[in-house]
Amino acid sequence: MNHEVLEEAVLHPVKRSALAELTTVPGVQAPSRRSALRSDKTVRVAIVHDWLVTYAGAEKVLEQIVACFPDADLFSLVDFLDDRSFLRGKPVTTSFIQKLPLARTKYRTYLPLMPLAIEQLDVSAYDVVISSSHAVAKGVLTGPDQVHISYVHSPIRYAWDLQHQYLQQSKLTAGPKSAMARLILHYIRNWDIRTSNSVDGFVANSDFIARRIRKVYQREAQVIFPPVDVEAFALCTDKDDFYLTASRMVPYKKIDLIVEAFAQMPERKLVVIGDGPDMQKIRAKAGPNVEIMGYQPFKVLKEKMSRAKAFVFAAEEDFGISVVEAQACGTPVIAYGKGGALETVRDLSESKPTGMFFDEQNVESIIAAVERFDGHVKRFSPADCRANAEQFSAANFRERFFAHVRASVPALRSATLPTYVPYKAEPGANAPRILAVDQSGVLGGAELSLLEIVKALRSRIEVVLFDDGPFRTALAKAGVTVNVLEAGALRNVRKQGGSLPKGQALKGLLSLVRATAKRARDAEVIYANTQRAMVIGAIAGKLARRPVVWHLRDIVSPEHFGGKQLAIIKWCARLGLTHVIANSAASAHAFAELTHFDKKRIDVVFNGISATPFDALRTVPQATLRQRLNLPQDAFLVGSFSRLARWKGQHVLLEAMVLNPQMHAVLVGAPLFGEDAYEIELHAFVAAHNLGGRVHFLGFQHDIPACMCAVDAVVHTSITPEPFGRVIVEGMLAQRPVVAARAGGVLEIIDDYENGVLCTPGDAHGLADTLAELRSNDDLRNKLVRNGYQTALSRFGTTTYVEGVERILKRVAGR
């Protein structure tokens, strides 16, 4: 749900000021008394942005405004950025919302407080105030001797013309909550109108938004198109015979209409790039001629965009960056003829056309446009498309915006635009460079947990892996630097035991240590994510003279590790480890007992698991998921989610299935570390007990949330203590009742019969009885689902997890 800010009230025309009459730039109004801005004094500039939580379209504009005024000070309601490079490392002054509960993830819920909060930001010491606003930033208080220029991405959409759509999408069309929402929006509209009077000059990102400003504020606005990184795209004149669309798959993007249209044109091929909540709906509409690639890294997107016959765009956007990016590749556009596309695409009525439009957001209109495009395809020149796109470059934006501000402020009339120098962040004590080390290329629980850290800290983290695989692909997709080192014979060393490395294995060990130490010299702390990575990291840390933090995700006991491996852990603890992060109190206790490590250097940070992929499936029928996975529609399905390994106890679930003939078992996972014999044993058990029709082996699956939402209950059957139990939290997020083995870190997650049910490890009869109770007791299932979901959100969220790990890494690096 987008909460940005909403408005509508009485519109008051505003008279132009004296300074506006002196300037040649339309739409700029400024204070009449300019004695405070003598030409011989430094002009102080403040830049105000709504909120800083990500790097998206509005932030790309802010980045170029900062480049125009590199000495300006920054202000924002909140600042929760991890990557600050686009702000050139500048600090940000924030409002009181920054310190309110859950502000990092729930800042939008403080919408009613935002007008008050923005007015508390003190910019009175500045001569020029530039607001970058799609919500409340333009409401910052300024005085009569200050010039306030507001770059408006849009007046608060959900408060004005999109209010009714917003209320419908938020299910706030009736009832007390609806009344409250409408009252808040009315208040914000009145505030929005009042504060528009204190803006001296408006700048809009398109004619479309300029018309909104005129409608809402009764003010004219200068149009300066937002910056597009056209330099990242190269002109391509050789086109293939396919069409492309690329976008996040959300309703207003209308990707489903494009896919449905091409499904009715089987002679034409469509390639779709993107992911999002509508993915399953879109896949269901695709025909054989439609290739849905899902999320793809920028390199793939650029290649497809360059080679496409045309780019198809069906959304109504304020601007539409992807439309310009396509033209930068020399690719013409077929777009919905409304919104920003009308300003970025030249249609057939103009000389040197770069695309064409369709009038309605429906399948028939898209089909007609594509057929018409094919009839005029020779009229479109890749060179013309590229030339049209170049007018939207970042350099052009900086020149136009700086000129606009300079014309508005007499003291800046002789100023020149600073030379643009790409910013390279300098690591400091508050943002240490991190070298993360992991032994695996497989996407296991430890790797998924590391992935959350990497996503948040990608600007200052580099990852070293000792094996290639899906984990490397996921890291690259997250935009982080990844190096895969050859582990050689070390790949065969297991934590359960075996010989110590000798010969070739020792040679491989030394090679890994040297390569890791070399990369560690550019970091301030080594962050080891797994046991073998910890051994390499501990030695490399000594060579590179860098502190080493081990994220302990195992219970270091004889049940999990061989004697020689435990001895190595003790040795590393004494000689190479600076600090330990444990994923549970059970893991921390076992480590302290084994090594006698200083408990002050052990912190417990529970794994964080994102609710987003689970919440995205809320509207997808379970029947659809089961059909996709080829699972029975009407059976009570019990799901097990982990690699196939004896200590994970999948055989206990199969034994429970023998005792519960009315249930089915779904096993998601594959043998990963030389455990193929156990998989064979499981299949043999199924055959011997005639369970073939009720046990479903799905193997390794990428989409775990979909698999979990397809079953009726989630079981955790480990027969030895589990360090944490990630699958338990995932089951809670999937809103499925969870049954787990009573041992280890599980006891720190589940309160028996409150948010889950505990069973004795290895007890198939007890498990069978519990599952039978769940199947027959709707009230119990509903209680477990409700309480489990709240537990997962409140105790095991990604924000708390990332902040905890980051805080420890900063502290260790600061030593």
Domain ranges of the chain: 18-223, 230-390, 434-604, 612-796
Confidence of residue 737 (pLDDT cuts 50, 70, 90): very high
pLDDT at 2: 42
The two structure tokens encoding residue 487: 């582990």
DSSP conformational letter for 600: G
For residue 127, give every residue at least 6 positions away whose Cβ sits within 8 Å of its Cβ, in sequence order, or none: 36, 37, 43, 44, 45, 145, 146, 147, 409, 411
pLDDT at 431: 67
CB atoms within 10 A of CB 536: 28
Exposure on the CB side of residue 651, measured as CA atoms within 13 A = 15
Least confident range from 291-305, 490-504, 529-543, 622-636: namely 490-504
Residue 49 is inside which H or E element, if any? strand 45-49
The whole-angstrom separation of Cα 677 and Cα 670 is: 11
User: What does the DSSP assignment read for 310-339?
Assistant: EEEE----SS-HHHHHHHHTT--EEEESST
Comparing 173-177, 504-508, 518-522, 701-705, the range with the smallest average pLDDT is: 504-508
Give dist(CA 49, CA 94) in Å, integer.
10
Looking at residue 259, its pLDDT comes to 96
Phi, psi of 137 (to 5 degrees): -60, -35
pLDDT, position 487:
66
As a whole number, the mean pLDDT across the chain is 87
Long-range Cβ contact pairs of 612-615 (< 8 A, separation 24 or more): 613/705, 614/705, 614/708, 614/709, 614/730, 614/733, 614/734, 614/735, 615/733
pLDDT in tens, 106-124: 888 898 999 999 999 999 9
User: Where is 130: in which H helix or E strand?
Assistant: strand 128-133
CA distances from 117 to 96, 113, 449 (A): 7, 6, 35
E strands in 235-339: 243-246, 270-273, 290-294, 310-313, 333-336
Nearest to 672 by CA among 444, 346, 451, 520: 444
What digits encode the pLDDT tens for the residues 747-767? 999 999 999 999 999 999 999
Q: Which two tokens stand for residue 449?
A: 């947990």
Query: pLDDT tens digit string along 597-634?
Result: 998 899 999 988 988 889 889 889 999 999 999 999 99
Domain spanning 434-604: CATH 1.10.10.10 = no
Strand 128-133 and strand 147-152: the pairing is: parallel
| Cβ-proximal residues to 498 (8 Å cutoff; 6+ apart), any chain | 492, 562, 564
What residue type is assigned to position 184 of the chain?
I
- Whether 369 shows a pLDDT value over 90: the answer reads yes
pLDDT digits (tens, 9 = 90+) for 218-270: 999 999 999 998 988 999 999 999 999 998 887 888 999 999 999 999 999 99
Q: How do residues 266-283 score in pLDDT, each as one tens digit? A: 999 999 998 777 888 898
Per-residue pLDDT of 122-163, as tens digits, reads 999 999 999 999 999 999 999 999 999 999 998 987 777 767
Whether the predicted pLDDT of 447 surpasses 60:
yes
Largest CA distance in the chain: 94
Give yes or no for a contact between 524 and 460, defined as CB atoms under 8 angstroms apart.
no
For residue 510, the tally of other CB atoms under 10 A from its CB is 11
Q: Comparing 506 with 184, which gets the higher pLDDT?
A: 184
The domain defined by 230-390 folds into: Rossmann fold (3.40.50)
Phi-psi region at 352: left, alpha or beta (left = phi > 0; alpha = psi -120 to 50): left
Domain 18-223 - what CATH class? Answer: alpha beta
Structure tokens at 792: 């997962």
- Is residue 1 helix, strand or coil? coil
Among residues 649, 631, 632, which one has the least CA distance to residue 640?
Answer: 649
- Tens-digit pLDDT profile for residues 396-439: 999 999 999 999 999 898 899 999 888 765 544 456 889 999 98
Which numeric CATH code is attached to 612-796?
3.40.50.2000
Q: What is the pLDDT of residues 181-224, one digit of tens each?
A: 888 888 888 999 999 999 999 999 989 899 999 999 999 999 99
Q: Which DSSP category does 137 fall into?
A: G
The better pLDDT of the pair 454, 494 is held by 454
Instruction: Quote the CA–CA distance of 767 and 758 in Å, as a whole number.
Output: 9
Contact 62, 132 (CB under 8 A): yes
Which amino acid type is present at position 312?
Answer: V
Identify the CA nearest to 155 among candidates 133, 130, 187, 186: 133
Q: At what angle do helices 563-575 and 531-544 cross, to 10 degrees?
A: 30
Give the pLDDT confidence of 545-572 residue by residue, as tens digits: 999 999 999 899 888 788 888 999 999 9
Provide the residue count of the chain: 815
- The phi, psi pair for 346, rounded to 5°, reads -95, 125
More confident position, 279 or 67? 67
Q: What is the pLDDT of residue 29?
A: 45
Report the pLDDT value the prediction gives residue 552, as an integer from 0 to 100: 94
Phi, psi of 493 (to 5 degrees): -85, 125
Burial class (CB in 10 A: 0-12, 13-18, 19+), 644: buried
Closest CA to 639 of 714, 725, 734: 714
Phi-psi region of 533 (alpha: psi -120 to 50; beta: other; left: phi over 0): alpha
pLDDT bracket for residue 815 (50, 70, 90): low
**pLDDT tens track for 448-476:** 899 989 888 887 899 999 888 888 888 88
**8 Å CB contact between 761 and 720:** yes
CA atoms within 13 A on the CB side of 96: 8
Please name the residue that has the structure tokens 């560690």.
520
Task: Examine the pLDDT at 23 and tell me if it is beyond 50.
Answer: no
Dihedral of the alpha carbons of 248, 252, 253, 257, in degrees to the nearest 10: 120
The percent of residues in the chain predicted with pLDDT above 70, rounded, is 91
Cα 226 to Cα 206: distance, rounded to the nearest angstrom? 8
Give the number of other CB atoms < 10 A from CB of residue 445: 21
3-state SS, residue 376: coil
Type of residue numbered 752:
D
Residues 6+ apart with CB under 8 A from 92: 52, 74, 75, 76, 79
Smallest Cα–Cα separation from 291: which of 299, 300, 406, 349? 300
Q: Among 328, 289, 294, which Cα is nearest to 311's?
A: 328
